[in-house]
Copies of this chain bind each other. A is one copy, B any other.
């Protein structure tokens, strides 16, 4: 939103204590999850990928070409299906000390699948500066989010030089602000 020069007010919800599963929140998103974008007129949009698409349509962050738009969505769905459930979830468990026995039992498989996602990204980035059309797009924003904090889930990016160079390129974009900035 900073890169689109759109003002935003951030509201924090304590998801580990059910703050998004109360009636007032469920009225805005029946799926009970953050992020949730609320527009000035009260309209709510859920799902990070849908929010990115809504904000970025008709801007340089989404390509004009039909095939390239599909490629952007391809990487955004990859992020939600093959990346976030492993890299973001493992990071959440470790960073917030939530590794109980059932989660510990899933850790090895989730870590392996997280590295598999990083492998797919590394192969692509060996020959591409960005994920789609050699330009920065919402696909890069979607994948940067949890990749740049993967180390907080004990994922080691040392064997992924192309990913590390791409992280630098994303950080170098005009208007980039740190996620906690």
Contact = CB atoms under 8 A, between A and B. Distances in A.
Contacts of A49: 73, 77
Contact of A105 (B67, B76, B105): B105
Contacts of A124: 30
B30 A53 contact: no
* Interface size bracket, A side: 35 or more
A54 B70 contact: yes
Contacts of A67: 43, 45, 54
B57 A74 contact: no
A70 B45 contact: yes
A71 B57 contact: no
A85 B89 CA distance: 14
A4 to B, nearest CB: 14
A129 to B, nearest CB: 17
Interface of A: 30-31, 33, 43, 45-51, 53-54, 57, 66-67, 69-71, 73-74, 76-78, 80-82, 84-85, 102, 105-106, 109, 120, 123-124
12 contacts: A31-B82, A46-B74, A46-B78, A49-B77, A54-B67, A54-B69, A54-B73, A77-B80, A80-B81, A81-B84, A85-B85, A106-B106
